[in-house]
């Protein structure tokens, strides 16, 4: 099966990772304030396209910078509000954001690759069917998260990742969110 064979319509849900998919990842650090949040090229246009395709767009993001004491939940809320407002003004939308502030060693069921955030989203949006959902992320952890929840997955990264060596392989690999959105628009 490949992306073009899926019957994607407005009953589907799109799950997106944040850092590395929507915004520039800070290598070795964390986005801790709105002025450090920088959209990746083409994301505004991609989100506009994706907003026309999917009934729900949900961001799922690990934010252990909170657990490390590098930022507060209020600072994270400010970052997310900036992201939501900017995308809305560009014609896109995000319907909900779920984040896990736990440290990796805490083994929280809500920290990707575990699927807790997906199940929280389903509680809030009972219409979500994981068999009609796509998870787009830039790491192997994101792809594993999608697989554990029963979603189709897309690896979205310009980094060299050896997909053949991944335990859970993505359905599709794209350089960036805009390339993925344009392909999806063309195929439906």
Active site positions, annotated: 17, 19
151: left (phi over 0), alpha (psi -120 to 50) or beta: beta
Q: How far is CA 139 from CA 113, 143, 170, in A?
A: 10, 7, 10
Longest dimension (CA), the chain: 45
- Give residues with Cβ within 8 angstroms of 12, minimum separation 6: 53, 54, 55, 132, 133, 134
Q: Over the range 81-115, which residues count as b (16 or more CB within 10 Å of their CB) and which as e? A: ebbbebbeebebbbbebbbbbbeeeeebebbbbbb
**Which run of H or of E encompasses 56?**
strand 56-62
Tokens of 7: 């019957």
- Give residues with Cβ within 8 angstroms of 120, minimum separation 6: 98, 110
Q: Could you tell me which of 1, 48, 26, 3 has the C-alpha nearest to residue 174? A: 3
């Amino acid at each position: 099966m490949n992306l073009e064979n899926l019957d994607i319509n407005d009953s589907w849900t799109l799950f997106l990772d944040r850092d590395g998919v929507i915004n520039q990842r800070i290598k070795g650090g964390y986005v801790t304030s709105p002025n450090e949040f920088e959209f990746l090229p083409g994301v505004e246009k991609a989100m506009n396209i994706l907003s026309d395709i999917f009934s729900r767009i949900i961001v799922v993001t690990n934010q252990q910078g909170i657990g490390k004491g590098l930022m507060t939940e209020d600072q994270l809320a400010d970052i997310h509000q900036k992201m939501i407002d900017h995308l809305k003004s560009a014609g896109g939308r995000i319907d909900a954001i779920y984040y896990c502030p736990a440290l990796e060693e805490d083994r929280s069921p809500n920290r990707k690759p575990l699927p807790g955030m997906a199940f929280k989203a389903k509680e809030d949006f009972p219409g979500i069917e994981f068999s009609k959902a796509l998870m787009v992320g830039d790491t192997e952890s994101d792809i594993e998260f999608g697989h554990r929840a029963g979603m189709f997955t897309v690896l979205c990264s310009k980094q060299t990742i050896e997909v053949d060596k991944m335990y859970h392989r993505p359905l599709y690999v794209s350089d960036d969110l805009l390339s993925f959105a344009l392909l999806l628009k063309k195929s439906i």
